[in-house]
């Protein structure tokens, strides 16, 4: 263990722990600046920029404290790349970001708890591939999936099982449902907790329960040709 003398406030003391002859080897610990480790640190954490590792009565934590315009981060890298991945806090935006793949931002959580994957989020959950120019309706903006080309959601289930979207409220966990049944390749539309419309795998449509009601002045167009029945 070696302790360099304090030269000035701008050049504080450095504590180096390592094997003799190679103090900067992989088994070394270098402490420079405000690093606090302990249980009762008192007012010592009031410095402008501090790394604190502390155990209190109810928790243990690692705490970064910086000026309002300074970011703090946990960085991950290897011998070939200084930084590959990172978890970073932006105090100016009160946002937390996760970066992967050569330190490219992948996920952002802003101060309103909006989550963006590949983007700064405009909605509660915003999954972005490329700019579509579209926006979400205010009644349906909790999840927004964006792509300048085709965009979609896939529900994968077993070949003899079902894939479903459920609709619930405070009175029922199953008020409505859209269900695809892989065993037979058919689709069921459920309202009020009961099957109503069944689209068969061969294209036939069954009204399981209810009537086909056509608005006044409208009907069914069979699109027959002039020489057809």
pLDDT, tens only, 169-212: 999 998 999 999 999 999 999 999 899 999 999 999 999 999 99
Pairwise CA distance, residues 78 & 88, whole Å: 18
Express each pLDDT in 35-66 by its tens digit: 777 666 665 555 566 777 777 777 787 878 77
Burial of 14 (0-12, 13-18, 19+ CB in 10 A): middle
Express each pLDDT in 1-39 by its tens digit: 555 555 555 555 666 666 665 555 555 666 666 677 766
Express each pLDDT in 69-95 by its tens digit: 788 889 888 877 778 899 999 988 899
Average pLDDT over residues 120-149: 96
The encoded tokens of residue 124 equal 């509660």
The encoded tokens of residue 215 equal 């608005």
| Closest by CA position to 183, among listed 167, 159, 203 | 159
Which pLDDT does position 84 carry in this prediction? 87
Q: What is the DSSP string of 82-130?
A: S-SEEEEEETTTTEEEEEETTTEEEEEE-TT--EEESS--SSSEEEESS
């Amino acid at each position: 263990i070696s302790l360099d003398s304090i030269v000035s406030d701008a050049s504080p003391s450095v504590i180096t722990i390592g094997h003799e002859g190679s103090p900067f080897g992989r088994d070394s610990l270098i402490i420079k600046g405000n690093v606090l480790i302990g249980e009762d640190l008192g007012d010592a954490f009031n410095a402008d920029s501090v790394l604190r590792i502390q155990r209190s009565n109810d928790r243990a934590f690692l705490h970064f404290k910086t000026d309002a315009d300074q970011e703090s981060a946990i960085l991950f890298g290897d011998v070939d790349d200084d930084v590959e991945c990172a978890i970073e806090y932006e105090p100016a935006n009160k946002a937390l970001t996760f970066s992967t793949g050569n330190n490219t931002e992948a996920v952002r959580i802003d101060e309103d708890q909006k989550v963006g994957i590949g983007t700064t989020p405009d909605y509660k959950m915003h999954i972005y591939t490329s700019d579509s120019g579209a926006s979400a309706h205010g009644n349906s903006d909790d999840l927004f999936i964006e792509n300048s080309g085709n965009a979609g959601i896939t529900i994968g289930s077993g070949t003899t099982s079902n894939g479903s979207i459920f609709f619930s409220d405070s009175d029922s966990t199953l008020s409505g449902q859209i269900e695809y049944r892989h065993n037979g390749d058919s689709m069921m539309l459920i309202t009020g907790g009961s099957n109503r419309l069944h689209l068969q795998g061969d294209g036939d449509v069954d009204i399981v329960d209810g009537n086909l009601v056509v608005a006044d002045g409208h009907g069914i167009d069979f699109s027959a040709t002039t020489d057809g029945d």
